[in-house]
Amino acid sequence: MSFYLTTPIYYVNSTPHIGHAYTTIAADILVRHRRQRGEETFFLTGTDEHGSNIPRVAAEAGLDLQEFVDRNAAAFQEMTVRVNASNDFFVRTTDDRHKAVVQEFLQRIYDRGDIFEGVYAGLYCTRCEAFYTEDELVDGLCPLHGIRPEHVEEKNYFFRLSAYQEPLLRLYDERPDIVLPRFRYNEARSFIELGLDDISVSRASQRWGVPVPWDESQVVYVWVDALVNYWSALAFARPGEDLRPRFWPVVHHLLGKDILKFHCVIWPALLLGAGLEVPKQLFVHGYLLMDERKMSKSVGNVIDPLDLIDVYGVDPVRFYLFRVATFGQDGSISLEGLHERYERELGNELGNLLSRTTAMIARYRQGELRPEPVSEELTAELARAQDEVAVRLDEFDVTGALELVWELVRRLNRRVEQAAPWELAKDEARAGELDQVLHELADGLRAVAVALAAFVPSTSERILAALGQPADLAWAGVAAGRTVAATGIVPAEPLFPRVDAPTAAA
Ligand code: MSP
């Protein structure tokens, strides 16, 4: 099996906030999990650099255009590294190799007959990079950004999107899981049912962008340029190798709900127009909210992911985002919420479980862990988790999958309380029972570490190391009885050391 997953490519008009980190982390969790199952994967992220407001923003910053986008693209690359994303490539739309594929792509549609010349007059929001009709505006302002759209009138090239209503409806009928969650499928389908207008795919008044191949006085519309990244990057990510035959049929896109129409309607139509295969699946997620509002630079309520990572470490941030909000729905985040889950769930539930288990093995068994039979109950629970976590992740239900693993953590904590190993240790006659409990805790914790590896990769590594277990993350390890004999186990350092609570000013 092969699996190709993309994040949207991020605009470089400013630096990343946690809403961007969110999609990248979700993608990373999904891809790491597939790798654990032995699938061949490709994980792409990157930056969208030809925004029509880039020349203005760069000028305001007093920087040359290329220097400006290089600087912000570097900030997104740093974010990708700091959230511990295991992407295979980082694509930039200012890369000449990408630009060449964009030209080729547009030329294909042109040659097949679905691009024509026309005049566009309309209201354009430079933040959405999209046209609006008068009725769509709210008090004359963009409904998403609250800014006044610009009146644009120019000769453009148009893509005959209207001709794709029928083919798209057929596609949606044939593939009811093409868009997830289901309510987003319905939303996309109703856009198509309402009827589709042709869209302008070039700009006459701009220079910053990819020249239209048959008319270099125009540049390609930034959304077309950006969408093509998913296809172009495979052509040059591995010099000398074209990955498209291997990964294009299995392409999956993650995206936020604000860009549903571009991805679920326009993108498949453009691909059909170019005679290419449409994506296998698209998953649309919700927003992270702060104080009930979408976190965004324009509202000014953003959190810098790097600040949180500096204080808590990367794994707690990865963990929190998918505990607090159901992936697919909107969810409110807060510094207090992160702190609280850090202490209660990561510190008290997972961290203490490892501390206690290793401390008891060190104290009662001189650091020696010996394989013992595992109870039927734990065996059955791990077998169930192994199947069900995989099923949820196949449906992009990152939150549901994490909840299932967390139930195992809680179960192991209950086992410690019920078995009270410290009581067993007082009675020589119960030594066999104690061996069994200690082994069962270690085995359960080892399986949990494997199950958690996609979510909190460094924590999993530390748990396995503390238990003297090999760093084998194969999904088959989420099963009972895979613990190997180990010696020299010492009380583990706290996985999640104390952190000061956030102050009101933070
Ligand atoms: N450049 C376009 C995408 C082109 S893809 C071919 C773009 N960029 S963006 O930087 O504005 O947004 C990128 C992604 O970040 C989108 O999926 C968007 O939904 C997501 N998010 C931005 N703010 C967010 C939150 N507050 N919460 C969750 N996701 C958010 O759109």
Ligand 1 center to 204 CA (angstroms): 26
Nearest-CA residue for ligand 1 atom 22 is 19
The helix (H) or strand (E) run that includes residue 20 is: helix 18-36
- 74 bridge partner residues: none
Distance (Å, rounded) from C-alpha 441 to C-alpha 449? 12
Would you place residue 505 in the very low, low, confident or very high pLDDT band (cuts 50, 70, 90)?
Answer: very low
The alpha carbon torsion through 65, 7, 103, 78 (nearest 10 deg) reads 30
Asked if pLDDT for residue 114 goes beyond 90, the answer is yes
Phi and psi dihedrals of 372, rounded to 5? -140, 160
Residues pairing with 294 in the sheet: 289
Residue whose tokens read 């929190």: 320
Contact 20 CB / ligand 1 (< 6 Å): yes
pLDDT value for 506:
44
Q: Which of 48, 101, 334 is the best mutation target for the ligand 1 pocket, counting ligand atoms within 8 Å of the beta carbon and taking the most?
A: 48
Are the CB atoms for 178 and 251 separated by under 8 Å? no
At residue 296 the predicted structure's pLDDT band, cuts being 50, 70 and 90, is: confident
Q: How confident is the model at residue 122 (pLDDT cuts 50, 70, 90)?
A: confident
- Max mean pLDDT among 57-61, 234-238, 308-312, 333-337 falls in 234-238
Using DSSP bridges, classify how beta strands 179-180 and 199-200 pair: parallel, antiparallel or unpaired.
unpaired
Average pLDDT over the chain, rounded to an integer: 95
CA of 256 to the centre of ligand 1 (A): 6
Q: Coil, helix or strand for 331?
A: strand
Alpha helices in 5-137 (DSSP H): 18-36, 54-60, 65-82, 96-112
Contact 6 CB / ligand 1 (< 6 Å): no
**What token pair was written down for 101?**
């594929």
| 237-267 pLDDT, tens digit each | 999 999 999 999 999 999 999 999 999 999 9
Residue nearest (by alpha carbon) to ligand 1 atom 19: 256
Query: If you ran DSSP here, which 8-state letter would residue 159 be given?
Result: E
In whole angstroms, how far apart are CA 301 and each of 19, 145, 160, 473, 504?
Answer: 11, 14, 39, 38, 15
| Residue 76: closest CA among 13, 145, 30, 26 | 13
